[in-house]
């Protein structure tokens, strides 16, 4: 899974510009025999047709980024955030465009730390004039944090582990697909970071009976972090609540019971601020019982997020075991 | 006039957003004798149907009152039997100090939200608002592991509060936002038993209104009614409120108007009130968010929607106060409206 | 001039009747079918010349930012709240009209002589303001206005400087006017026009307008911020007057469909119609709601740059408006591929 994860992290894919990550995922999925489809918004759907219930498993493939909004006379670029960007993470970061062009982020003179806002930042791609800059990028060109992946002990440091870790997890489960008869849709969604958008239309289209999202969550295990009872290395987190969703009790309990009976370590997650694709999915049509398996992640939305690899493999084991539970569709 | 026993059970039963099962059971039990069917849907909304008379197609009316309440949720179990928590919905954290609570774990536990004695505080500290992160529930347990078994992360808690009967027909308690609305829903379906009406009436006690109007969105999609009426509470008048910030108690239901409300439906509700002599108030609201009406209106290709509110003081505290007379009058208004509802009126709702 | 009549019409969110009636009369001769829905959206279908051609939704919102009368004081003065994003500081000393009967009134405040030097430093907020229609008591006021009625700015439509227009409610009557003009021509594709309600209070009409209509793609016609004024830095202008319609790449509610955006830009280049890109990630339009309808609908937004949006008097350049109409028409004329590529 590490190699795939590294490959996914190096694929370009800010919200709304997911072509490259989608094509990498397509390549990875080509050998699996699943039916592949891309919908109107760009969601990649991998289907294993079946009978007796419809399960949707979603992981978003987009990542946060920047969008160029202005090019000045001296070749500096101004930008708008794509998704939840913190200016403190941006200052001094290196970013990369779809064609590999690198840039570094500088700031206007700022007297106090609280005045550090995104509109005070600019991007330097080494161009000396607007004409030079325009040869390389245009207004509307998106960029992402420069990719990075390293593996130290059990920990992985990388950009866009949110949510390439979730994508790698789904791929791992697909590679070793549990023998199930029901209908399965794996969805690599677009535009999660800008408002859970891809999941919304995909869920309407697929009309599932049950859904799980796989995404990252924050932790409370760093110095003086806000209180949160999720730590790295203690197993995947089963989501109870975030801003977008209160997990369906049946789904939540079945996940807990699965982890218990298989001896898979797990944690329970109450996320004070943040949402996932399941937030959109569970409100589709007449409602879809939904839950989330979260991968504990430090420094979410920074250029260097950190996860524990064991959490990822345990999450894959949990998902795989969950899929084989007999009581997935009690109402059908 | 108003069955205080049921109102008491509704108010005192727990039903924090996402954990509405217990209050749902009270509601379903109450609804069974006077509806044709009652069931919980896939997300937990209680949907009851009281059929109308006459041939199809009969008008389909949705009445929605949210049954969830704001509350607390355990985020961490600490040594010494303390529970850290977050709020579910818009809880005013300042009202929590020193409250007796019930923790709805594997079994119910009493607890108290501890407060630092004034002796240990400096004069400046006493003026500060305590933030949620500093508060905890003391369960009395000494053993953390034992407590974790009973009240794991995600367990909800509510204020331990009995319904208080005040003078002049007014009552106070927790969760009257929106068990008062649920009470009206129950009363309306009960009254309809003895009354001829042509509409099929779907009474829905919705989930998760306080965290984002969620149950109303999915249940309206499922039922696909010809019109929907949300029953909720609005701010009562209190010292310091201006005429458009609070509505007096005992002056009857407040009929909502604004972008979320269909003009003809608004007029028809006013007409119904006048026809049977119910005093009412008008509650204008410039932005439509904040009640189930928001979710109902935008289901599918749009649903003509109205909003009726019961004036309530001290919203989102554990001493919410209403007048039972307003409850009764609100019920009468809905009954009168449904009794007079014709297919032709429903057809006209799409013609602007 | 249609734009002038549209601008003058009364249309707070949820009270778009006058705008709707005007538009219904205007488009009647050019469409095959007209209807309204539960929220009050005005919808029309115009069949394409080609069999099996794509079904394209064109939208413009009818409502405008406004005030709502929320309380009548015993003195006959009216209290109000805002509908949609109005900067409260601009309200003081403006004439308005209340309700469909357009009862004239003014927004008053305490005179400068009566306030302390400290108070003078503070901007007027809603709680300090009231609307005066001249009534001497609550009874007199209630004869003319009712609680819940909207009020809109009472400002005049006028031609300004070089081919520019100053008026109220150009957001989005300029889109409504453009859509009427577009409907007057013939296209290979089938058009479903949606004049939507309640955009300013949360894209409400648009949330339901596209549902169940089997739409292949959508074009939203709007007015958008132009901030090409003194003291604005070059990267803060967003759009400028006279540069042609502004195309959205991304805003708070929508990332424009890249393929659709590319083909619009291609059409513009080939036809030599000027256009510009909207240079900000903020703001939102009906497109945000439309593109998430059902399975998802590829959507783009085209807007006339407009200074002083959401104020009593905004300013546009007419050439931008004409280029918006031309670009949209040209694009629709070229949309001949069948529906298979959906």
At C14-44, the pLDDT tens digits run 999 999 999 999 999 999 999 999 999 999 9
B chain contacts of residue A241, beta-carbon cutoff 8 Å: 18, 73, 88, 154
Q: State which residue of chain B sits closest to A284, comparing Cα positions.
A: B218
Q: Measured between CA atoms, how close is A243 to chain B, in angstroms?
A: 8
Q: Give percent above pLDDT 70 in chain A.
A: 100
CA-based nearest distance C295→chain A, Å: 5
Nearest CB among C250, C279, C298 relative to A70 is that of C279
Q: Please report the pLDDT score of residue C342 as a whole number.
A: 38
Q: What is the mean pLDDT of residues A90-97?
A: 96
A227 touches chain B (CB under 8 A): yes
Q: Which pLDDT band, with edges at 50, 70 and 90, does C301 fall under?
A: very high
CA dihedral C134, C139, C144, C147 (to 10 degrees): 110
CATH superfamily of B4-69+174-348: Zn peptidases (3.40.630.10)
Tokens read off for B314 = 């001290």
Test B300 with C70 for CB contact under 8 angstroms. Answer: no
Q: What is the pLDDT of residue C338?
A: 46
The number of residues in chain B equals: 352
Closest residue to C36, CB basis, from B288, B298, B351: B351
Q: Which residues of B touch C (CB under 8 A)?
A: 242-244, 257-262, 282, 284-289, 297-304, 349-352
Q: Considering only CB atoms, which chain C residues are within 8 Å of B261?
A: 14
Contacting subunits of C (3+ beta carbon pairs below 8 A): A, B
C-beta atoms of B217 and A270 within 8 A: no
> How far does the CA of residue A78 sit from the closest CA of chain C (Å)?
7
The DSSP secondary structure of A154-194, one letter per residue, reads TEEEETTHHHHHHHHHHHHHHHT-----SEEEEEEES--TT
Cβ-based neighbours of B153, under 8 Å, separated by 6 or more = A229, A240, A268, A269, A270, B74, B75, B76, B77
**Which chain C residue lies closest to A285 (C-alpha atoms)?**
C294
Cβ separation B282–C82 shorter than 8 A: no
Where in chain C are the domains? Answer: 2-64+168-341, 66-153
Q: Where are the domains of chain B?
A: 4-69+174-348, 71-159
A272 touches chain B (CB under 8 A): yes
CA-CA distance, B87 to B134, in Å (whole number)? 13
Query: How far off is chain A from B296, nearest CA to CA, in Å?
Result: 12
Among candidates A240, A246, A285 on the partner chain, residue whose Cβ is nearest the Cβ of B153: A240
| CATH domain C66-153 topology | Elongation Factor Tu (Ef-tu); domain 3 (2.40.30)
Instruction: Chain B: give the shortest CA distance to residue A297, in Å.
Output: 18
Q: Which chains touch A (3 or more CB pairs under 8 A)?
A: B, C
- Pick from B43, B76, B212: which is nearest to A229 by CB? B76
B211 with A228: Cβ contact below 8 A:
no
User: At B121, is the pLDDT very low, low, confident or very high (cuts 50, 70, 90)?
Assistant: confident
B286 → closest Cβ in C20, C73, C82: C82
> Distance, in angstroms, between B161 CA and closest chain A CA?
25
Domain with CATH 2.40.30.40 in chain A: 66-145
Q: What is the pLDDT of residue C127?
A: 84
- Across the interface, whether the CB atoms of B75 and A227 are under 8 A apart is answered yes
Cα separation, C294 vs B163, whole angstroms:
45
For domain A2-63+159-323, the CATH architecture is 3-Layer(aba) Sandwich (3.40)
Mean pLDDT of C66-90: 94
pLDDT greater than 60 at residue B301: yes
Residue of B17, B75, B222 with shortest CB distance to A246: B17
CB A44 within 8 A of CB A188: yes
Q: Look at residue B127 in the predicted model and tell me its pLDDT.
A: 75
Categorize the per-residue pLDDT at C341 as very low, low, confident or very high, splitting at 50, 70 and 90.
very low
Is the minimum CB–CB distance between A69 and chain C shorter than 8 Å? yes
The CB-side HSE value for C154 (13 A sphere, CA atoms) comes to 19
ipTM of model over 0.85: yes
Question: What stretch(es) of chain A map to CATH 3.40.630.10?
Answer: 2-63+159-323
Active-site residues of B, by number, are 209
Three-class HEC string of chain C: CHHHHHHHCCCCCCCCHHHHHHHHHHHHHHCCEEEECCCCCEEEEECCCCCCCCEEEEEEECCCCEEEEEEECCCCCEEEEEECCCCHHHCCCCEEEECCCCEEEEEECCCHHHCCHHHHHCCCCHHHCEEECCCCCHHHHHHHCCCCCEEEECCCCEEECCCEEEECCHHHHHHHHHHHHHHCCCCCCEEEEEEECCCCCCCHHHHHHCCCCCCCEEEEEEEEECCCCCCCCHHHCCCCCCCCCEECCECCCCECCHHHHHHHHHHHHHHCCCCEECCCCCCCCCHHHHCCCCCCCCEEEEEEEEECCCCCCEEEEHHHHHHHHHHHHHHHHHCCCCHHHC
Q: What is the mean pLDDT of residues C178-192?
A: 97
Q: How many CB atoms lie within 10 A of CB C106?
A: 15
Q: To the nearest whole percent, how much of chain B has pLDDT over 70?
A: 100
CB contact, 8 Å: A36 with chain C? no
Interchain pair A40, C295: CB under 8 A: yes
Chain A, nearest residue to C342 by Cα: A40
Position C337 confidence tier, pLDDT thresholds 50, 70, 90: low
Return the residue of C nearest to B299 by Cα: C208
CATH of A66-145, one of 3.40.718.10, 3.30.70.100, 2.40.30.40, 1.10.630.10: 2.40.30.40
| Residue B219 contacts A, CB cutoff 8 Å | yes
Percent with pLDDT over 90 in chain C: 89
Q: What is the mean pLDDT of residues A86-97?
A: 96
- What are C42-61's pLDDT values in tens digits? 999 999 988 888 999 999 99
* Distance in Å, alpha carbon of C18 to nearest chain A alpha carbon: 34
Q: What mean pLDDT comes out for the span C69-96?
A: 94
Asked if A16's CB is within 8 angstroms of C235's CB, the reply is: no
**A22 has a chain C CB within 8 A of its CB:** no
A84 shares contact with chain B (CB less than 8 Å)? no
Map residue B95 onto helix, strand or coil: helix
Superfamily of segment(s) C2-64+168-341: Zn peptidases (3.40.630.10)
Cβ–Cβ contact A187 with C under 8 A: no
Query: C204: which chain B residues are within 8 Å (Cβ-Cβ)?
Result: 259-260, 288, 297-298
Which of A122-136, B23-37, B236-250 has the least mean pLDDT?
A: B236-250
Nearest CB to C79; choose among B242, B287, B303: B242
Q: A18-41 pLDDT, tens per residue?
A: 999 999 999 999 999 999 999 999
Cα dihedral across residues C294, A252, B178, A244: positive or negative: negative
Do A80 and C250 make contact, defined as CB atoms within 8 angstroms?
A: yes
| Band of pLDDT at residue B166, cut at 50, 70 and 90 | very high
Identify the active-site residue in C199, C200, C222, C317. Answer: C199
Q: Does B153 sit within 8 Å of A283, measured CB to CB?
A: no
Give the mutation candidate from A221, A246, A257 for the B interface (greatest B CB count, under 10 A). A246
Domain B71-159 in CATH 2.40.30.40:
yes
Predicted pLDDT at B133: 75
Closest C-alpha among A219, A225, A104, A216 to residue A159: A216
Average pLDDT of the residues of chain A: 96
In this predicted model, what pLDDT tens digit does every residue of C209-249 receive, in sequence order? 999 999 999 999 999 999 999 989 989 999 999 999 999 99
Mean pLDDT (chain C, rounded)? 94
Q: Which residues of C touch A40 (CB under 8 A)?
A: 295-298, 342
Distance CA C314, CA C170 (A): 7
pLDDT tens-digit series, residues C132-166: 999 999 999 999 999 999 999 999 999 999 999 99
Q: Do B286 and C198 touch (CB under 8 A)?
A: no
From CA C323, how far away is CA C319, in angstroms rounded? 6
Which chain B residues are Cβ-neighbours of C146 within 8 angstroms? 282
At residue C266, does pLDDT exceed 70? yes
CB contact under 8 A, C255 and A70: no
CB contact under 8 A, C147 and B284: yes
Interface of A with B in 279-308 (CB under 8 A): 282-283, 285-289
CB atoms under 10 Å from CB of B26, counted, come to: 21
Instruction: Please name the member of A226, A268, A286 whose beta carbon is closest to the beta carbon of B218.
Output: A286
Average pLDDT, chain B: 94
- Locate the chain A residue with the closest alpha carbon to C281: A80
């Amino acid at each position: 899974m590490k190699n795939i994860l590294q490959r996914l992290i190096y694929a370009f894919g800010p919200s709304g510009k997911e072509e490259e990550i989608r094509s990498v995922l397509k390549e990875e999925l080509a050998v699996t025999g699943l039916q592949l489809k891309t919908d109107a918004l760009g969601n990649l759907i991998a289907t294993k047709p079946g009978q007796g219930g419809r399960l949707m498993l979603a992981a978003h493939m987009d990542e946060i980024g920047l969008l160029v909004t202005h090019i000045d006379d001296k070749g500096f670029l101004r930008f708008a955030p794509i998704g939840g960007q913190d200016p403190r993470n941006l200052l001094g970061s290196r970013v990369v465009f779809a064609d590999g062009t690198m840039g570094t982020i500088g700031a206007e003179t700022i007297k106090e730390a609280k005045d550090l806002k995104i509109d005070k930042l600019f991007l330097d791609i080494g161009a000396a004039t607007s004409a030079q800059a325009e040869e390389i990028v245009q207004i509307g060109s998106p960029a992402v944090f420069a990719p990075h992946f390293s593996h130290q002990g059990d920990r992985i440091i990388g950009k866009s582990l949110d949510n390439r870790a979730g994508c790698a997890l789904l791929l791992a489960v697909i590679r070793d697909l549990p023998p199930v008869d029901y209908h399965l849709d794996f969805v690599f969604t677009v535009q999660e970071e800008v408002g859970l958008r891809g999941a919304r239309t995909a869920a309407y289209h697929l009309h599932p009976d049950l859904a799980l999202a796989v995404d990252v969550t924050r932790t409370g295990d760093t110095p003086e972090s806000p209180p949160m009872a999720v730590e790295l290395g203690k197993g995947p987190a089963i989501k109870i609540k975030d801003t977008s969703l209160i997990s369906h009790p049946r789904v939540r309990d079945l996940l807990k019971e699965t982890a218990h009976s298989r001896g898979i370590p797990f944690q329970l997650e109450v996320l004070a601020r943040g949402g996932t694709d399941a937030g959109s999915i569970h409100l589709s049509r007449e409602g879809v019982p939904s839950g989330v398996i979260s991968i504990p992640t430090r420094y979410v939305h920074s250029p260097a997020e950190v996860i524990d690899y064991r959490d990822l493999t345990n999450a894959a084991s949990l998902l795989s075991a969950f899929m084989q539970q007999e009581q997935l569709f009690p109402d059908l | 006039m108003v069955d205080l026993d049921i109102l008491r059970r509704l108010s005192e039963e727990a039903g924090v957003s996402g954990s509405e099962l217990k209050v749902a059971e009270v509601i379903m039990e109450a609804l069974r004798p006077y509806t044709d069917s009652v069931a919980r849907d896939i997300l937990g909304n209680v949907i009851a149907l009281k059929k109308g008379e006459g041939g199809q197609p009969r008008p389909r009316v949705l009445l929605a009152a949210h049954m969830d309440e704001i509350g607390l949720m355990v985020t961490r179990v600490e040594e010494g039997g303390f529970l850290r928590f977050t709020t579910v919905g818009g809880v005013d954290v300042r009202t929590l100090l020193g409250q007796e609570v019930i923790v709805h774990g594997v079994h119910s536990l009493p607890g108290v939200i501890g407060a630092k004695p004034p002796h240990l505080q400096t004069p400046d500290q006493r003026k500060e608002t305590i933030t949620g992160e500093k508060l905890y529930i003391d369960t009395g347990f000494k053993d953390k592991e034992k407590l974790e078994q009973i009240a794991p992360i995600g367990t909800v808690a509510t204020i331990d509060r009995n319904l208080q009967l005040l003078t002049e027909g007014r009552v106070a308690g927790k969760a009257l936002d929106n068990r008062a609305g649920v009470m009206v829903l129950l009363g309306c379906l009960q009254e309809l038993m003895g009354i001829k009406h042509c509409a099929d009436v779907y009474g829905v006690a919705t989930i998760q209104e306080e965290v984002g109007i969620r149950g109303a969105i999915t249940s309206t999609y499922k039922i696909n009614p010809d019109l929907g009426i949300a029953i909720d509470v609005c701010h009562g008048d209190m010292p310091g409120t201006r005429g458009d910030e609070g509505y007096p108690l005992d002056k009857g239901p407040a009929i909502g108007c604004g972008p979320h409300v269909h003009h003809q439906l608004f007029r028809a509700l006013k007409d119904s009130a006048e026809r049977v002599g119910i005093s009412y108030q008008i509650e204008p609201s410039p932005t439509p968010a904040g009640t189930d009406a928001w979710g109902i209106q935008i289901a599918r290709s749009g649903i003509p929607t109205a909003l009726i509110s019961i004036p309530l003081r001290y919203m989102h505290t554990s001493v919410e106060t209403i007048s039972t007379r307003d409850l009764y009058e609100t019920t009468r208004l809905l009954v009168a409206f449904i009794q007079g509802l014709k297919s032709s009126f429903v057809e006209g709702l799409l013609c602007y | 001039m249609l734009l002038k009549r549209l601008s003058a019409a009364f249309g707070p969110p949820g009270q778009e009747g006058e705008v709707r009636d005007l538009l219904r009369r205007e488009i009647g001769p050019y469409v095959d079918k007209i209807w309204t829905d539960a929220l009050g959206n005005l919808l029309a279908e115009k069949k394409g010349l080609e069999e099996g051609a794509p079904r394209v939704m064109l939208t413009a919102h009818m409502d405008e930012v406004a005030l709502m009368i929320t309380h009548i004081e015993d003195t006959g003065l009216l209290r109000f709240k805002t509908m949609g994003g109005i900067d409260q500081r601009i309200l003081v000393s403006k004439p308005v009209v209340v309700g469909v009967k357009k009862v004239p009134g003014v927004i008053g405040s305490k005179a400068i002589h009566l306030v302390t030097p400290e108070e003078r430093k503070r901007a007027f907020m809603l709680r300090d303001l009231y609307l005066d229609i001249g009534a001497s008591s609550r009874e007199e006021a209630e004869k003319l206005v009712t609680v819940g009625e909207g009020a809109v700015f009472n400002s005049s439509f006028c031609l300004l400087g070089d081919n520019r227009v100053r008026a109220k409610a150009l957001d989005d009557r300029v889109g409504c006017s453009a859509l009427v003009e577009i409907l007057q021509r013939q296209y290979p594709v089938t058009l479903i026009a949606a004049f939507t309600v309640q955009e300013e209070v949360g894209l409400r009409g648009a949330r339901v307008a596209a549902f169940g209509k089997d739409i292949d793609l959508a074009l939203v016609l709007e007015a958008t911020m132009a901030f090409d004024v003194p003291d604005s830095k070059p990267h803060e202008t967003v759009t400028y007057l006279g540069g042609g319609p502004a195309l959205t790449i991304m805003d708070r509610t929508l990332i424009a469909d890249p393929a659709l955006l590319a083909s619009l830009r291609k059409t513009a280049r080939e036809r030599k119609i000027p256009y510009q890109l909207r240079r900000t990630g903020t703001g939102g339009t009906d497109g945000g709601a439309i593109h998430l309808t059902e399975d998802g609908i590829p959507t783009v937004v085209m807007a006339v740059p407009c200074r002083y949006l959401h104020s009593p008097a905004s300013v546009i350049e007419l050439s931008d408006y004409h280029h918006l109409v031309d670009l949209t028409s040209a694009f629709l004329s070229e949309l001949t591929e069948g529906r298979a590529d959906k």
